[in-house]
Every structure is written in C-alpha cells, then in structure tokens.
Structure 1
C-alpha cells in the first residue's frame, strides 16, 4: 500500500472519531480521552491541535483512503509523537510507514513517545523507527479505568 501524510481536512474528523470509538483500539491505546464518544470534546481537541503552533498533526492515507492520523507536539527538547491507525489496517506496516513519514517532516531531536507497556505492536513500530525505551512509568489510563505500566521511548539524533 502507498502510505502518505497530508494536512488534516475537516472531512477527516468523522473518520478519526469513528476510529477512536473502536473498543479494541481504544483499549490498546489506553491513554485516551475519558469518554471517546463525547463529540464536543473530540471536536474541541482537534480544533486546539490543528491551531496550536507547537503541534503538527497529519492525516495518514493508504492508497488514498484515510486510515489514521500522526502528529508531533510539545516544546523543543520535549516533543512527542503520536499516531492512530484504524484497526482494520493493523499488521500491514502502515503505522511504521506513517511514523517514518512524520519523522522526515519533524527533524528536531530528541523526540519522545509513550505506549502502554502491553502494547507490543506500538512499541515494535516505534523501535523500527529508531526509538529506544528510556524509562517505565505508571499512569492512569482512562480507556482501562486503572493505573497501568507505560514505557517512554526516545529518538536521538542519528537514530533514524
């Protein structure tokens, strides 16, 4: 599949909303909004992300179809990547391709990422892109209603 990134269009938002409300995806992501079905909060979050000077969020396309989002946010030296791929596309290399594309756009290093410690797929994607586990923490995961272990990963200069 041909994977590319482009600016987020208003028409992408209903697709992202549907993706965030998939129960299995929501559980795996763990660190999500309290209520993913709250459309007003979803819209407010995306309005904020799309207008923030320190955020670059993109739509992930596979063969022209909207399959997710990828972005980077935060201040220099503390910037963090995030991505979401529709569960129907898991296991096909799309997350890895999307993250590699994002890393081509975002040249600042270091970059950080976080994942639930049991989210082996996401950790594998990040490691394929040069991120390395730098710490473990515990945090409240709204999607699971509990504190869980998470890993913090870092990408240094020259890692890609």
Structure 2
C-alpha cells in the first residue's frame, strides 16, 4: 500500500469521528475522549488542535483512502506523537509507514509516545520507528473505565 500524509481537510473529520467510535479500537487505544460519541466535543477538540500553532496534524492516506491521522504536539522538549489507524487497516504496516513519514517531517528530538501496556501492536509500531521504553505509569483509561498500565517511550536524536 502507498502510505502518504497530508494536511487535515474538513472532509476528513467525519471519517475520524467514525473511526474514533469503533468499540474495539477504543478498547485498544484506551486513553480516549471521555465520551467519544459526543460530536460537539469532537468538533471542538479538532477545531482547537487545528488552530494551535506548533501542532503538526496529518491525515494518513493508504492508496488514496483516509485511514487515520497522526500528529506531533506539546511544548518544546516535551513533544509527543500520537496516531490513529482505522481497525480495518491494522496489521498491514500502515501505522509504521505513517509514523516514519511523520518522523521524517518533524526532525526535532526527543519525541515521546505513550501506549497502553497491553497494546502490543502500537508498542511494536513505536519500537520499529526507533522509540525505546523509558518507563511505566498508571493512568485512567476512559475507554476502559479504570486505571491501567501505560508504557512511556522516547525517540532520541
């Protein structure tokens, strides 16, 4: 599959909203919005992050289809990556390819990442892209309704 990133378009948002409401994806991601089905909150969140300087937000396309999004956000020295890929496309190398493209675009280091400790797929993607585990924390996972273990990773220069 040909994986490319581009700027987020307004027409991507309904796709992102649908993707962010898939029950299996929510459980895997764990650290999600308090109410993913709240479209007003979703729209407000995306309006805020699209208007914030310093956030690099990209739509992920696979063979021309919108399959998710990837971003770098946060204060200098504490920048973090995040991504979301539609469950239908899991296991095809798209997340790894998309993150590699994003990391080539955003050259600043270090970059941080976090994943639920039991999210083996996301941890594998991050490690393939050079991130290394630096710690563990516990945090409240909205999608699971409880505190869970979280892995903290860093990509150094």
Q: Do they superpose with TM above 0.5?
A: yes
| Gaps in structure 1 of 5+ consecutive residues | none
User: What is the TM-score of this pair, normalised by structure 2?
Assistant: 0.99
Tell me which stretches of 4 or more aligned residues in structure 1 moved more than 2 Å.
none
Shift of 1:75: 1.2
Q: Distance in 2 between matches of 1:77 and 1:127?
A: 20
Shift of 1:76: 1.2
Residue 116 of structure 1 corresponds to 116
Q: Distance in 2 between matches of 1:59 and 1:123?
A: 21
| Gaps in structure 2 of 5+ consecutive residues | none
- SS of 1:25's partner is helix
Residue 29 of structure 2 corresponds to 29
Q: Distance in 2 between matches of 1:96 and 1:22?
A: 21
Residue 12 of structure 2 corresponds to 12
- SS of 1:147's partner is strand
- SS of 2:102's partner is helix
Q: Distance in 2 between matches of 1:46 and 1:4?
A: 21
Q: Distance in 2 between matches of 1:49 and 1:82?
A: 13
Residue 64 of structure 2 corresponds to 64
Shift of 1:54: 2.1
Q: Are residue 105 (structure 1) and residue 105 (structure 2) matched?
A: yes
Q: Distance in 2 between matches of 1:112 and 1:152?
A: 7
Q: Distance in 1 between matches of 2:111 and 2:57?
A: 15
User: What is the TM-score of this pair, normalised by structure 1?
Assistant: 0.97
Q: Distance in 2 between matches of 1:73 and 1:44?
A: 17
